[in-house]
Structure 1
């Protein structure tokens, strides 16, 4: 209803503007006729079918408090942990894949047409067999749709049936197979699976995966005469899948035959020079030779050439040599009026800001150059810039102000589209949060925390531990109950270091109940401690469990005592006493003394004497506790004899 009213308003507004413009044009025409002036009608601006949606979206902006559009807008279906985010997104894509499988397996149920003209995506894919009627047109359609498996199958059937295949069609098939390495690509609609697959592929990005002797090489040998496109396809394919030695051999063969290769093919060779030579000097010399060949053949370099050279320089162990060469490359390409992309700046940061190299502030010069500019994808490494820049701000410079500038650039225009996949986005905010947590007052940091968590970013356990350290350093103990609640939601309960950290903060920073903001903290801390106790109890018997330590369970006992929850404290101490041979370590003497004081307050001498017995059995100082019990209770003969049997008469002396 809201949208329909808004569109009615826009239509009415557009109509009124049109009438006014007609009236203005008529008046201008009358005036122009009187003054013999020419009327200039502006050119028509082409508008796409979605321009009005972009215009409406620009008036709203991004809402950081709302979940991503890919999740259902239901509180019970919105993920609040990194694992559930990926699980929910992949589950949604699994549903699409299941629907697609049903459509392919039961194609007879989907023969009706949903729209006129028909939408190809709604139609089941054709199934080919040896009896199918095929021709060059069939193969060409499959190539245009990037259906690698079906295209290869149809090609083989055409070969068996001696159907003539044109050279142009063989060339197109060769390019398709070389680009995908004869592997069916993942459909474009499966974005989440594509992102997850890319994260796994980065681990094996330097491993040779080219299929030697496969169909690509067979088609290459069949094509005669071999053209620039033929050599370009096979060289790029081999270089892309790291069959680098044969790619370079093909490259030299093409040059010997005086075949004019294009710039992209030269870029592919430049991108793998680090695999062809061992030392930095040899690699740089090979790059110079390739560039000289380009100059001799009058092949104009482009952005890919510059980025391929810089990619090679990132592999140089000698950082001084790498920096010197990088500056030469940037100067040369600046003379050629080739503008860097974000991928170029990513390589520059990788070269200048290494772990064991001198500190470089090159990122400051980069940000001064590109500040307030909007970028689009020009190179496949453009999406690596922001995550690398934030890594440099945190680990190389440890500078909050520069990190703020990087984040401002990310949110300029549509630059957020270059954040990359969900994994890079998570790493970016991991560095950003950790840096702000270490350099900002905790009150200012929590403003950023409130804005981004949990819909944009969910802190990993390491970041949460940094936040707890900041809370402890700033004595902002009023944040502990909220952070514990977030730790439960974010599924961080399996981290023993986090549990020990939050217990230590609550025990070491005793709330001042005279301060209004801390008045309810003792009871809240007791609830948190009891919650921790119950969560650990629930994990017993599981494969991944957290075991109590003496210090941990002693802190829980202390907090329940301070929160005036004597019943829970008694249960916890009973667990300590019964399982003292299973629990490594012992609670501190301070924890046990506070429990005895609570026993005195709640008039429970039997519990206090059991605590005294536990102290004696674990070789702790029991005299002070015995004095405390003797002075706090009116004891009968049974209790006095028990105390005497444990510690003797020494507790009666001053």
Structure 2
């Protein structure tokens, strides 16, 4: 997908998505230029000439008021021009054949009365062939009211498709089926159902693609789960009565409806699968996706047998796209494996994904979600050596870890007592753009500062702490410095102390005072150890003075340690004694005050 060059490779998930979208945008821009300015691409210099590689002719060649001109504009998908020319033909009294009018309805119902655009061309279909269901090109996003869905382009009242349909002198089954499928696709499910009733009243028969569309629309026609299933059965019975043979998309539409039928869906979905087997219809990935969604939607009741049986089938095959929902299967299945906490199933699923061209079903967004779930499960269930092996192989070649993945990895390292790997994880965090995430920084500092480690590791930890300190203080355009927490400052002070960086550690302690936080006993003791290691009695005295000024219970103990563990000059001894005198005098003052009271 990307240039095989370290400098040009994206560093995180956001960049990877931007890069991939940019590539697609470049392709669309090229298509747009060729379509808008075909006159600049009419020269053929290729020898030999390969017609399929040459730009299509996209400008109308037939002028005048004729049905042939209308056919050409319909073929070129010029929605507005086609409607205008049809209206002029009608006004001129020129009859338009039923076949051509139906082709115009196909165009209007597919594009929803809007003009053809490069984005819509991505989902275009061969409308003249009877094998495509327009309603299945775009799944409903959200139900807003009975019989309607939320779409970018909605079915408007009395639009051109409805107007032309009403003035047609004769209509056949194709006319009704096209209107039904267009209405379902663009969110007018109730109107589609009414149109289906009109089709039956006119004694026409619907085709399989129209029934598929109607079954998909069932959740938008009925509120109750049982009512939805009963209406779906009505359509199935009508198919049997009209001798319409169901296809794969019929069963997928039925399972998709059962996803929104609650408990009824669980009890009926397996019967649907058995019916598919009886008709010798091979499931697609969308079939399995709907099945897993139905059985693994509710947390707490996971029958692992269903997914195991699904994987038994999926492992044997290399799939080709047959349904727009095929692309959802691997992400849904991996989520089910995570919910079940079953690493063996997840590994089986991953092998099935890598078989043949199955990996092509995962686009940029789905790919990262899939690997992210898989990696979280590895961190939870596998040994740390296996986790690190996968992490090294996966990142960033196949996925970019999310903040949750990094947290899972840190927790796995902590559980296995492999904290020496943290510095390399921190380098990855910087590359991924997570060096300003509060939750990750707190977890990182907490793990590094919790226990004492060998000197080399402590030096690496101190380097991480220095980078984290720089990240907190970094400012830039629209970027404010991060707020320090007392815990983070204390952890950084501890890490600097253990690495022998006395002055840096003291600066962190002073920063604690600035945000009105009291240094913990651990911070005090670690700093005193550092002062002893670097032979800095003055720093130790400053610490004792700070503890005394804050009236901390540990101040006397720190003072005693300083007297015993440091070689003090006479001046330093006097300074230490004066700290004691100040403390004593304050104590005596408080005692006398209490006596007066």
Normalised TM-score (structure 1): 0.78
Q: How many residue pairs were aligned?
A: 557
Measured after TM superposition, the shift of residue 541 of structure 1 is 8.5
Where 1:521 maps in the other structure, the secondary structure is helix
Q: Which moved more, 1:113-122 or 1:533-542?
A: 113-122
2:123 aligned with 1:181, yes or no?
no
2:148 aligned with 1:215, yes or no?
no
Q: Which residue of 2 aligns with 1:546?
A: 482
Q: Decide whether the 8 Å contact of 1:239 with 1:272 is kept in 2.
A: yes
Measured after TM superposition, the shift of residue 339 of structure 1 is 2.1
Q: Deviations over 1:225-277 (max 9, x none)?
A: 11111111110111122211101100111011111110111111111111111
Q: Decide whether the 8 Å contact of 1:551 with 1:586 is kept in 2.
A: no
Q: Decide whether the 8 Å contact of 1:494 with 1:545 is kept in 2.
A: no
Q: Decide whether the 8 Å contact of 2:208 with 2:247 is kept in 1.
A: yes
Q: Which moved more, 1:219-228 or 1:450-459?
A: 219-228
2:357 aligned with 1:418, yes or no?
no
Give runs of aligned pairs for residues 628-647 of structure 1, distance below 5 A: 628-636=561-569, 638-647=571-580
Q: Decide whether the 8 Å contact of 1:554 with 1:586 is kept in 2.
A: no
Q: Which residue of 2 aligns with 1:86?
A: 17
Q: Which residue of 2 aligns with 1:557?
A: 493
Q: Decide whether the 8 Å contact of 2:259 with 2:265 is kept in 1.
A: yes
Q: Which residue of 2 aligns with 1:588?
A: 520
2:519 aligned with 1:600, yes or no?
no
Cα distance in 2 between the residues matched to 1:594 and 1:426: 42
Gaps of 5+ in 1: 1-67, 192-197, 514-519
Where 1:580 maps in the other structure, the secondary structure is helix
Q: Decide whether the 8 Å contact of 1:549 with 1:584 is kept in 2.
A: no
2:162 aligned with 1:234, yes or no?
no
Give runs of aligned pairs for residues 202-601 of structure 1, distance below 5 A: 204=142, 206-208=149-151, 209-317=154-262, 319=263, 321-356=264-299, 358-361=301-304, 362-395=306-339, 397-419=340-362, 421-512=363-454, 520-539=456-475, 542-543=478-479, 545-564=481-500, 566=501, 569-577=502-510, 580-581=513-514, 583=515, 585-601=517-533
Q: Which moved more, 1:628-637 or 1:528-537?
A: 628-637
Cα distance in 2 between the residues matched to 1:125 and 1:454: 43
Cα distance 1:103–1:409, how it changes in 2: closer, same or farther (>3 A)? closer
Cα distance in 1 between the residues matched to 2:571 and 2:400: 58
Cα distance 1:204–1:155, how it changes in 2: closer, same or farther (>3 A)? same
Measured after TM superposition, the shift of residue 427 of structure 1 is 1.2
Cα distance 1:347–1:332, how it changes in 2: closer, same or farther (>3 A)? same
Q: Decide whether the 8 Å contact of 2:79 with 2:113 is kept in 1.
A: no
Measured after TM superposition, the shift of residue 289 of structure 1 is 1.4
Cα distance 1:124–1:401, how it changes in 2: closer, same or farther (>3 A)? closer
Cα distance in 1 between the residues matched to 2:219 and 2:39: 54
Cα distance 1:251–1:109, how it changes in 2: closer, same or farther (>3 A)? closer
Cα distance in 2 between the residues matched to 1:137 and 1:609: 99
Where 2:308 maps in the other structure, the secondary structure is helix
Q: Deviations over 1:97-126 (max 9, x none)?
A: 555666677777655445464868865986
Cα distance 1:637–1:357, how it changes in 2: closer, same or farther (>3 A)? closer
Q: Decide whether the 8 Å contact of 1:274 with 1:312 is kept in 2.
A: yes
Cα distance in 1 between the residues matched to 2:389 and 2:511: 46
Cα distance 1:270–1:597, how it changes in 2: closer, same or farther (>3 A)? same
Cα distance 1:178–1:606, how it changes in 2: closer, same or farther (>3 A)? same
Q: Which residue of 1 aligns with 2:146?
A: none
Cα distance in 2 between the residues matched to 1:99 and 1:331: 48
Q: Deviations over 1:379-425 (max 9, x none)?
A: 22111111111100001x11000111111111111211223x21111
Cα distance in 2 between the residues matched to 1:142 and 1:511: 76
Normalised TM-score (structure 2): 0.85
Gaps of 5+ in 2: 124-135, 144-148, 585-597
Cα distance in 2 between the residues matched to 1:505 and 1:644: 38
Q: Which moved more, 1:327-336 or 1:533-542?
A: 533-542
Cα distance in 2 between the residues matched to 1:119 and 1:562: 73
Q: Which residue of 2 aligns with 1:72?
A: 3
Q: Deviations over 1:440-485 (max 9, x none)?
A: 0111112111222102101100111011100001011121111111
Cα distance 1:584–1:403, how it changes in 2: closer, same or farther (>3 A)? farther
Measured after TM superposition, the shift of residue 428 of structure 1 is 1.0
Q: CA RMSD in A?
A: 3.1
2:540 aligned with 1:614, yes or no?
no
